[in-house]
Amino acid sequence: MGDPRLGSRLKEIRTEAGLTQAELADRAGVSRKTINTVENGVFVPSTLLALSLARALGTTVEGLFYLVE
């Protein structure tokens, strides 16, 4: 399960970029289901996945994910 301390802007940034989950998954080299589970807080991404997602979206890891205070 996800961690309630981790917040995500992944869906917001993906939709602003005009990408579907499948398109982002292709760019990041993962499955659409992986994108879905990260967006819904079910799965906490590894460092490698977070970096891949940030690169695919042209942002930083800190731009995608944050700690909930």
Q: Domain segments of the chain: what residues? A: 6-67
Reported pTM? 0.91
9-to-15, 53 alpha-carbon distances in Å: 10, 11
What are φ and ψ of residue 57, in 5° steps? -100, 0
Query: N- to C-terminal Cα distance for the chain?
Result: 19
Q: Which CATH superfamily is domain 6-67 in?
A: lambda repressor-like DNA-binding domains (1.10.260.40)
- Digit-coded pLDDT (tens) for 17-47: 999 999 999 999 999 999 999 999 999 999 9
Confidence band of 56 (pLDDT split at 50, 70, 90)? very high
Contact 51, 61 (CB under 8 A): yes
